[in-house]
């Protein structure tokens, strides 16, 4: 059917919008923390072994996803930046997954005003699970650029003032146009 890949900075709403989009589309939701958290819990955030564990988990998960019926849609999330080797490799894996399943890949970049992302990052529901330090996010945004879709099916969506359900509806309409061709 399709893979929709939501990319954006921490705090932009990838998980919340992704869950809403997956519900709307009847899709399987694969949140990036499902893969990353295994390595972090097993090795710690700063241990380089974390990336070895992550890659093993990713390889097993993407292998299982590649074998799912082509009629299944996936909504996936990540925070991939341009030019970072590990993140370029992560994007390549998503592209290869779509090719292996012979389904369209619709890349979506979620954006929001910096002040809105800083507010969201500080949300109490993120504590213990995700980045909560607005200063760290500010530094990340100053040092890197979020990866933009290069394909005609790509969408860049400012979600600063959009409720998650509304953002999911806009993305679902875009996906429908892309799949219809």
In this prediction, residues 168-173 reach a mean pLDDT of: 98
CB half-sphere exposure, 47, CA atoms < 13 A: 14
Q: Residue 7: what are its φ and ψ, rounded to 5°?
A: -125, 145
User: Which residue has tokens 């879709």?
Assistant: 149
Comparing CA positions, the residue from 7, 9, 6 lying closest to residue 141 is: 9
**Residues 80-100: tens digit of each pLDDT:** 999 888 888 899 999 999 999
Sheet containing 155-158, strands listed edge to edge, beginning at the edge strand earlier in sequence = 28-30, 74-78, 3-7, 105-111, 155-158
Whether the per-residue pLDDT at 30 is higher than 90: the answer is yes
Q: What's the CATH architecture for 3-180?
A: 3-Layer(aba) Sandwich (3.40)
Q: What confidence score (pLDDT) does residue 57 get?
A: 94
pTM: 0.91
Note the pLDDT of residue 134: 84
Residues 17, 118 contacting (CB under 8 angstroms): no
> What are the start-end ranges of the E strands in 79-154?
105-111
Residue 35 reports pLDDT greater than 80: yes
Res 172: pLDDT: 98
């Amino acid at each position: 059917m399709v893979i929709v890949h939501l990319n954006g900075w921490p705090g932009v709403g990838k998980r919340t919008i992704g869950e809403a989009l997956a519900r709307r589309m009847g899709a399987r939701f694969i949140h990036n923390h499902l893969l990353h958290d295994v390595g972090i819990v097993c090795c710690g955030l700063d241990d380089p072994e974390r990336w070895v564990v992550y890659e093993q988990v990713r390889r097993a998960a993407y292998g299982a996803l590649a074998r799912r019926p082509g009629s299944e849609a996936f909504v996936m999330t990540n925070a991939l930046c341009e030019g970072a080797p590990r993140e370029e490799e992560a994007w390549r894996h998503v592209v290869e997954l779509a090719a292996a399943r012979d389904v369209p890949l619709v890349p979506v970049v979620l954006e929001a005003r910096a002040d809105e992302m800083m507010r969201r990052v500080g949300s109490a529901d993120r504590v213990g699970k995700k980045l909560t330090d607005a200063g760290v996010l500010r530094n990340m945004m100053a040092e890197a650029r979020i990866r933009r879709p290069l394909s005609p099916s790509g969408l860049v969506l400012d979600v600063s003032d959009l409720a998650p359900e509304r953002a999911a509806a806009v993305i679902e309409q875009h996906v429908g146009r892309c799949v219809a061709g």
